[in-house]
Amino acid sequence: MRIVIVEDEASTRQGLVSIIQNYTHHDIVGTASSGAEGLEMIRKEQPDVIISDIKMPGMNGLEMLQKVKDENLEMRVILLSGYSEFEFARKALQLQVIEYLLKPLQVNELLDALNRIEESREEESLKKVSLQQLFWSCYTADDISANKMIPLLMKELRITEEMQSDIYFIHPVSIVRESEEELIELMSRQLEILCFENYFIFRMPQTLEFLVIMVDTESKKSLRSVFEMRVLQKMNEVTECLCSMVHITGLQDFRNKIACLQKLISYAFSIKQGIVVYDRLAKETVYTETDYPLSLELDIVREIRNGNSEKIRACGKQFESDVIFGSNSPLEIREKTTRFVNAVLRTAEDIRRNFAVDSDSKYIMNIIASSSTARQLAYQFDKIIDAASDLHEENPMTQNGIILNAIAYIKDHYSTDITLGETAEKCGVSAEYLSRLFFQETGTNFSAFLQDFRISMAKRLLNSGNNKVYEVAEMVGFHDQKYFAKIFKKLCGETPAEYRKENG
C-alpha cells in the first residue's frame, strides 16, 4: 500500500518510517509535519493509507481529515493520539477513521492495524469483480493470494468448510464459439427443470470447456446418474460432450480437483458416449500395450499400389477394430493411427502427386493428433481410407478431353462467377456444343455439376469450423447467403448450420 505520514514530532515521524520500512512491504510516498502540509501531500500523492497525529499546530489531524472527506478522497486512516478522551474518538468515528491508536505506539499494534486495512482493501476489491472473475482469480493466483480469496468465494457460493459439493467438467468435442451460449442455456434449463437451484457454471478461460459446481450434494446420492441421463444426454443432442465429476468438501482443494477432472476426462476416449467419468470408473479402465500392426500397414500399402479398393477398405476396417477401438491407451492409439495414416498418405502421394491436397490430409492429421474420442478419430481415419480407395479412379464420369478440361476449369474457378459460355470459350467450343456434350458424358448438365462441386467444397470448409456460414458461401461462389442455404439444403437435406453442427 502507498502511505502518507502526517506527524509534527520528528522522532515519532521517523519512528513510523523505520517500522514500516523494516517490517512491511508498503511504500511511504510522503511525510508531513503539519495538517496543512499533510493535506497538500495527500492531494498530490493520493495514497491508500494516511497515518496522522490528531494534535498538531495550526490545522490538526481531525480538521485535515474533514477536508479530505469533503473532497471525496477515498483513503484509509490510522489516527494517532496521546490522548484517550472520548471526544477525539467520537469525532474520529464520524470521519470513518479505520484505526485509532494511542501513543506511545507499540510496533505490533501498528503492524496489526496495517494488516487489517490491507485485508479490508483486498476484500472490498474482490467484491467489485464478478463471481466468474473471482473464481478464476482464485484458480490462477499463488497459494498465499488464493488462501485469502477462497473464503470470500465460498461465501459467495454459500459453501461451508464441511459441506460436500460436486464439480462437473464439461468438454464439448466439437463446438464453435457461437454455440457455447446455447449449450450453457440448455444445461441451465435442464437443471432448473430438475429443481436444482444451488448450482454455478464457470467458463474455463481460453477454451470452450466449463465447470458446473453443484452445492451441498451429500444427500443426493443419485445425482450423477440424474445428471448423466437428464442433462448430459440433452447436451449431446447439440454436440457430443465429454464429462467428468469429483466430490469436494469445502473449496480449499478446488484447484487440485480441477486438475483431477482434466485427467479423468482423458478416460472418456474409449468409454461409451454419454457417460460421466468418475474416479472408480477410471480405476476400472485398464489399458494394454500391443505391438504396432506392421503387417497390416504393409498390406494396405500393397493394395493401394494395386488399386484394390475393396481390400484397402478391409485393411482400414481391420485397423479400426484392432487399434482405434482396441484396448490401447488414448496416446498409443493416436500415435499408431498417425503412423498408419502417414504410410497411407506417402503411398498415395507416390501415385498421385496432389493426393494430399485432395484429401485435406493436413487438417485431418491435426484432428487425429488431438482427437478427444475414438469415435472422432475413426471418423477422420475413414476419410483418409475412402480417399485412398478412390485413388485410381481418374474420373469415373468421362474420359473425353473437352469435358475433362471443362471440369478442371470448374475446379480452378468455382469461387468466381464462371458461366457455361466462359468455360466453353476456354475449351475452344461453343456453349451449345459443350452443354450437349457435358450432359452426354456425365449424365448431368453444366449448372448442376457446378452447383454440386461448390456445395462439395462448402462442406469441406464447414467441416473445418474456421469460417462463418456467410464467409463459406462467398468462398464457393454464392453471393447470396439465403440462396446458398436453400441450395445446400436441397442437395444435402439439411442447412449449412445443421451440417456443421453434425459434422464439425
Looking at 210-308, list the stretches that DSSP marks H as alpha helix, in order from N- to C-terminal side.
223-226, 233-236, 254-264, 279-284, 294-306
Overall average pLDDT of the 270-282 stretch: 90
User: Minimum mean pLDDT among 114-128, 140-154, 320-334, 432-446: which range?
Assistant: 114-128
Q: What class does CATH assign to 131-275? A: alpha beta
Q: Is 7 helix (H, G, I), strand (E, B) or coil?
A: coil
**pLDDT confidence of residue 359:** 46
Q: Within 13 A of 36's CA, how many CA atoms are on the CB side?
A: 3
Residue with cell 500500500: 1
The whole-angstrom separation of Cα 367 and Cα 261 is 23
Q: E strand or H helix at 188, and its extent?
A: helix 177-193
- What is the tens place of the pLDDT at every residue in 410-466? 888 899 989 998 998 888 888 888 888 887 777 778 888 898 889 888 888 887 767
Q: What is the pLDDT of residue 297?
A: 94
Q: Which residue has the higher pLDDT, 294 or 97?
A: 294
**C-alpha span between 120 and 348 (Å, rounded):** 68
| Percent of all residues in the chain with a pLDDT value above 70, rounded to a whole number | 89
Would you state the pLDDT for residue 336? 95
Q: Which long-range contacts (CB under 8 A, 24 or more apart) does 288-296 make?
A: 288/327, 288/328, 289/328, 289/332, 290/322, 290/323, 290/326, 290/327, 290/328, 292/336, 292/339, 293/319, 293/322, 293/323, 293/336, 293/340, 296/322, 296/340
Whether the pLDDT of residue 172 is over 70: the answer is yes
Helix (H, G, I), strand (E, B) or coil at 169: strand
Among 315, 358, 168, 162, smallest CA distance to 247 is for 168
What is the average per-residue pLDDT within 465-473?
Answer: 84
Spatial contact of 476 and 414, defined as CB atoms under 8 Å apart: yes
Does the pLDDT of residue 293 top 50, yes or no?
Answer: yes
Judge contact between 44 and 19, C-beta under 8 A: no
Q: How far apart are the first and last CA of the chain?
A: 51
Alpha-carbon distance 295 to 293, whole Å? 6
The CATH number given to 401-503 is 1.10.10.60
From edge to edge, which strands make up the β-sheet containing 2-6? Answer: 27-32, 2-6, 49-53, 76-81, 99-102
Q: Which residue reads 485431418 in cell numbers?
A: 364
CA 308 to chain centre: 44
| Alpha carbon distance 146, 289 (integer Å) | 41
Q: pLDDT by residue (tens digit) across 325-370?
A: 999 999 999 999 999 999 998 888 776 655 654 445 666 777 788 8
> Which residues, at least 6 apart from 153, have a Cβ–Cβ distance to it below 8 Å?
134, 135, 138, 251
Of 72-86, 260-274, 377-391, the poorest mean pLDDT is in: 72-86
Considering the chain, what is the average pLDDT of its residues? 84
Whether the per-residue pLDDT at 261 is higher than 90: the answer is yes
Mean pLDDT of 393-398: 48
Residue 396: pLDDT over 70: no
Q: Degrees (nearest 5) of the Cα angle 48, 49, 53?
A: 155
The pLDDT score that the predictor gives to residue 40 is 92
Q: By percentage, how much of the chain surpasses pLDDT 90?
A: 27
Q: With b meaning 16 or more CB within 10 Å and e meaning fewer, what string describes 262-288?
A: eebbbbbbbbeebebbbeebbeeeebe
pLDDT score of 412: 87
Please say whether the structural domain 2-126 has been given the CATH code 3.40.50.300: no
Measure CA 216 to chain center.
Answer: 27
Cα–Cα distance for residue pair 137/185, rounded to 1 Å: 24
Residue 320 DSSP symbol: I
Q: Which residues contact 449 (CB under 8 A, 6 or more apart)?
A: 407, 410, 438, 442
444-472: buried (b, 16+ CB within 10 Å) or exposed (e) per residue? Answer: eebeebbbebbbebbbebbbeeeeebeeb
How high is the pLDDT of residue 501?
A: 78
Reported as a single tens digit per residue, the pLDDT across 44-74 is 889 989 998 888 888 888 888 888 888 888 7
d(CA 75, CA 68): 9
129: CB partners within 8 A, 6+ apart: 137
Q: Per-residue pLDDT averaged across 61-88, rounded?
A: 78
